[in-house]
Amino acid sequence: MNTSLESVKTWPNTAKNYFTELKLEMRRVTWPSRKQVESTTIVVIITVFAFAGYFALVDQVLAASITKLTQTLAR
């Protein structure tokens, strides 16, 4: 019982230490510039569309292949 009471008593101090360390760590972070964010966003959007086109093509080929296979086996 004493250990849980002690942990409750130390919680505010632990939380304060956590936020102090978090604040210090966030100051050390190297944030990207707006230009870097914009350029990587464009790359991501282009990549998403390229993969969407690729998967649409693969889907069409597989669908046609399966249709042809089922028609051949059904005869």
> Domain limits of the chain?
1-30, 32-75
User: Would you write out the chain's pLDDT as a tens digit for each of its 75 residues?
Assistant: 567 777 778 888 999 999 999 999 999 999 999 999 999 999 999 999 999 999 999 999 999 999 999 999 998
pLDDT value of position 2:
62
DSSP 12-75: HHHHHHHHHHHHHHHHH--PPPHHHHHHHHHHHHHHHHHHHHHHHHHHHHHHHHHHHHHHHHH-
Which pTM value belongs to this model?
Answer: 0.59
Which residue is associated with the tokens 């510039």?
33
Closest to 23 (Cα-Cα) out of 32, 33, 15 = 15
53-67 tens-digit pLDDT: 999 999 999 999 999
